[in-house]
Amino acid sequence: MFDGVSEAITRGREVTLPRWTLQDAPVTVLVFCAVLLCQLAQEGASFDAGDTVTENLYRGQDGEDKVKAVDSCKLSGLGDCGKEQRLEERLVRLEGERVGHVEELELIPGKKHLLRTISMKPVIFEIPDFFTSEECKHMIALAKEQGLEESKTTSSGTHEALPLYDGNRDNKLSLKEMQQTLEDGFDVYLDDGDVRQMYSDLGIDLNHDDFLSRQEVTSKSIGLIKAYVSKLKEEMPSKKSRFSEQTWIYPDKTTDPLVLSFQERISRLTRLPQALIDKFSYFQVVHYGKHGHYNAHHDSSNVDSMTCCHLTQSKRCRICRFMTIMVYLNTVEQGGETAFPIANNDTYDRHVFRLNGMMNLNARCHQSNLRVQPQLGKAVIWYNHFINETTGWLGDVDPFTWHGGCPVTKGKKWIMNRWIAVSNDRELDLELS
Ligand code: OGA
Ligand code: FE2
């Protein structure tokens, strides 16, 4: 399925800097990425004491009236909603109010759940006991029954050319620049020691100055690097951006009562049009073993002219996920937190973020501003996109939603991901399947 392309597409879009490739011109003009000074605050997030429970924190961008319109449409079922009504439908987001805010929800008739705001930038919630322990076990069993396969990302080093990243245009590659080159080209995350080891094994940093100069970068040395890194990825999969296995579950292809009840919970939680819940209803179960992790990424991509993957069979598509609902199916013995490296930062500069190596949660998990502990049954919920005020539909990606899974240092980790797919075409999204 298409999940493998999500982060690669997102990252692909990030990498808009000019680069030189050996293929384009042997030792061409080195290029530059302007590094704006921007301090990434590294404080941990905390909860407010004195939680309060309020009636309703669901609001559309334009207030309550629009939400009611959606609800009345929902009540009669989308099938009864005329096209005109559909055109009036708007996305809604849970507001959050403030960190520490708690709302009581009835996601299952007769049962109470607490929705707690844990961040406002981006807006992130958690619901303890969203699943019972039996439900978690059941989901894991279901996934195992289906069989899991290695989680993939698309930038896997199959490119012919390896674009070399010379951020400061000094005509040579520093260790960090080589790391970024390999992150983009091979989806592999090395540290200074790894790169030095590679240079020494390959004998390519001839003067041992930790830089690759124009003279040292030859088609031969690039060939050696490519072969070396491909092998290293196989031998040390923990160096990859994502190290886990996964499977997809399709509610419309099952009669499993839990899977169906999950659909209902999602609908009650999100209050989004039922068509959005029903149409793209598949979810993913992921298993991380020891050293399993997932480097920082966005779950969705910025709105542009490319078709959303949920609306096409073509592989040339972008991932469009309005919101993420992630459930921990076990309590991890050690590690495996979900990290939001720049949650609540004042500013965000993507180049600084990259150059600081903040994507590499394998190495930098503990510098992340917000870390959520994986606890059996807990759901973590956030919006990858804002709502476009004019259209009432999918808006820009919230850049502060960078997140990922820290390495599991003891035990294993199981999660379930459910995304609400939304494109920028309201009519298509709301069409009945
Ligand atoms: C994901 C993800 C985080 C985690 O699967 O997209 O971000 O904690 N996972 O595993
Ligand atoms: Fe994610």
Locate the ligand 1 atom nearest the alpha carbon of residue 3 and give its number: 6
What percent of the chain is predicted at pLDDT more than 90? 57
Residue with CA nearest ligand 1 atom 2: 404
Ligand 1 in contact with 387 (CB < 6 A)? no
Quote the pLDDT of residue 152.
80
Quote the pLDDT of residue 211.
94
From 33-42, 70-79, 230-239, 338-347, the region with the lowest mean pLDDT: 33-42
Quote the pLDDT of residue 217.
86
Distance, in Å, from the CA atom of 90 to the CA atom of 355, rounded to the nearest integer, reads 38
For residue 326, the SS3 value is: strand
Ligand 1 in contact with 415 (CB < 6 A)? yes
17-42 average pLDDT score: 32
Which pLDDT tens digit goes with each residue over 269-285?
A: 999 999 999 988 999 99
From 57-61, 224-228, 305-309, the region with the lowest mean pLDDT: 57-61
What is the 290 CA–ligand 1 centroid distance (Å)? 15
**Is the peptide bond between 109 and the residue preceding it cis, with omega within 30 degrees of 0?**
no
CA 387 from centre of chain: 18
State which H helix or E strand residue 146 sits in. Answer: helix 133-146
Is residue 188 a contact partner of residue 241, using CB atoms and an 8 Å limit? yes
Quote the pLDDT of residue 37.
26
Residue with CA nearest ligand 1 atom 10: 405
What is the 54 CA–ligand 2 centroid distance (Å)? 29
Ligand 1 in contact with 328 (CB < 6 A)? no
What is the 58 CA–ligand 1 centroid distance (Å)? 25
From 46-50, 346-350, 385-389, the region with the lowest mean pLDDT: 46-50
Residues 6+ apart with CB under 8 A from 29: 20
Other Cβ atoms within 10 Å of 174 Cβ, number: 19
Which pLDDT tens digit goes with each residue over 182-216?
A: 988 888 999 899 999 999 999 999 889 999 988 88
Locate the ligand 1 atom nearest the alpha carbon of residue 374 and give its number: 8
Tell me: pLDDT of 7 over 80: no
What is the 123 CA–ligand 2 centroid distance (Å)? 15
Residue type, 140: I
For residue 45, the SS3 value is: coil
Residue with CA nearest ligand 1 atom 1: 404
From 42-51, 137-146, 230-239, 316-325, the region with the lowest mean pLDDT: 42-51
Cα angle at 402 between 399 and 404, to 5 degrees?
Answer: 170
Tell me: pLDDT of 19 over 80: no
Tell me: pLDDT of 360 over 70: yes
Cα angle at 348 between 15 and 103, to 5 degrees?
Answer: 120
What is the 254 CA–ligand 2 centroid distance (Å)? 25
Other Cβ atoms within 10 Å of 50 Cβ, number: 6
335-344 average pLDDT score: 97
Locate the ligand 1 atom nearest the alpha carbon of residue 339 and give its number: 8
248-269 average pLDDT score: 91
What is the 5 CA–ligand 1 centroid distance (Å)? 14
Band (362; pLDDT cuts 50, 70, 90): confident
- CA-based max dimension of the chain: 74
Ligand 1 in contact with 151 (CB < 6 A)? no
Distance, in Å, from the CA atom of 318 to the CA atom of 38, rounded to the nearest integer, reads 29
Pocket test for ligand 1, best of 417, 418, 419 (most atoms within 8 A of CB): 417
Residue with CA nearest ligand 1 atom 7: 404
Which pLDDT tens digit goes with each residue over 149-190?
A: 999 875 555 556 788 888 888 999 999 889 989 988 888 999
Ligand 1 in contact with 417 (CB < 6 A)? yes
State which H helix or E strand residue 200 sits in. Answer: helix 192-202
What is the 19 CA–ligand 2 centroid distance (Å)? 28
What is the 425 CA–ligand 1 centroid distance (Å)? 27
Residue with CA nearest ligand 1 atom 4: 405
Quote the pLDDT of residue 160.
64
Ligand 1 in contact with 292 (CB < 6 A)? no
From 87-101, 145-159, 220-234, 255-269, the region with the lowest mean pLDDT: 145-159
Structure tokens at 297: 């990424």
What is the 203 CA–ligand 1 centroid distance (Å)? 38
